[in-house]
Structure 1
């Protein structure tokens, strides 16, 4: 395995350079996949800012803004890991409202958020037109291996031991879902870039698994 240590800031710069040079027409759909503790949200925001500095129109979408209503999320109870993995997030809506419109020949109209989990209602946002050459950056868990169409995917990996040490007690019940996802889907093999995040302040880019 060939690994390079970097900083969070330089990681965002490197990813933005790869995307800016290699993906442009008509749009680019980027997925940052991983447990929230790996910093997917923060990296997605930094990546979006770096791409904007390079003149790209960028839209941020958070999978946590594409959750299902509480009546559906909690149908199997509040502590079911399988429910968390398979029932909480509306991947069908994410495809319909974000990914499909950015296919070649698509409308370019993207809905930034579908559902407010805290208020348990729609935020009633307007669709945003992403100009050609624009980039949508989606972050969240379980984004790989389920048929979502993306053009570039990054998996932020954190070991089970570190996750268990860092996770809040009220979220420990979710960890088996991430273990199953890692074992069954192998997002580390599916992603275009793999980054080890056991030390989030010093990400380690995996250049080769061999």
Structure 2
């Protein structure tokens, strides 16, 4: 047996509705500009030639209901409410039928963003890592198995901050469907069990401050919740 110079990081995992076993997270892929109104509010348009992606480390994963400190290095910390797809089988150059068969389940998620750092990176044509991939930046509610969800499209997706609506749309407003996104992503990666795909956020993103409570809901899925505490 191999020894390590220090203990390996614990496996990050998400509860699953109806079963005791946890879903272990391998990778987190995120889709940019998958709602046209959100693209416009960010000063851009959707590039309809193909989706584009960024990633978050599994270390960014945080369970719903957590209270987290306002993150360091930012003065413009934003919420982004998203549908999260959890894969349960391998995919490479997949067809839509193969994608549907490989989806383990769905969850509500928050893609938290240091918007000022992301904007500075965009201006300098640099990667978005510091704006997107940081501690507590991927909050995910318990996963609902795909068989209990049915087709994705008519469900309403909403987010509230301190009880006031900030984001509201339908999953059918996505530019690229779940199947289209994962088919395309599978041409770039060998996808597999434990991979999460955040499918993009609707319009209405905005800042949150210490003391705020964020609540997000997608019809048929467990809600996601996050409280913001004072910075460390």
TM-score past 0.5 threshold: no
- Specify which structure has the higher proportion of helix: 1
TM-score where L is the length of structure 1: 0.24
TM-score where L is the length of structure 2: 0.23
